[in-house]
Amino acid sequence: MASFHSEETDHLFQALLTLQSVEECYQFFEDICTIREIESISQRLEVARLLKAGRVYTDIAAVTGASTATISRVNRCLAYGAGGYELVLQRMDTADEEGNEAE
């Protein structure tokens, strides 16, 4: 179990699970995070998406502005992490596919 597991962290994650729209996420994250923190998290997710798509570090750095250290860290998480990026990216792909089928 990760060292950050705590009752407070459980409450944070339970709060995230109550959000029902992108707009609600914007409202909550604007209150709880700095703009820079949101940008950093968003950048890491985009780096993960691009790595999964087979893009190379130089392309990813150019597109996202991420440092090679950040790209390397995300790549390590994709390879050896808890599977969170994989889970979210897979679900986002599935949601995109379902949205395209409905059109």
pLDDT digits (tens, 9 = 90+) for 62-87: 999 999 999 999 999 999 999 999 99
Structure tokens at 94: 């599935």
Angle at the Cα of 34 from the Cα atoms of 75 and 32, rounded to 5 degrees:
100
Cα–Cα distance between 96 and 86 in angstroms, integer? 15
Q: Does residue 28 form part of some domain?
A: no
- The model's pLDDT over 14-30, given as tens digits with 9 standing for 90+, comes to 999 999 999 999 999 99
Distance in angstroms (rounded) separating the CA atoms of residues 81 and 33 = 24
- In a domain, residue 17? The reply is no
Residue 53's domain spans which residues? 33-102
Residue 80: inside a domain:
yes
| Residue 10 belongs to a domain | no
| Number of folded domains that form the chain | 1
What totals of helices (H) and strands (E) does the chain contain, helices first? 6, 0
In the structure encoding, which two tokens stand for residue 45, read together?
A: 């997710």
Say how far apart CA 23 and CA 50 lie, in whole Å: 25
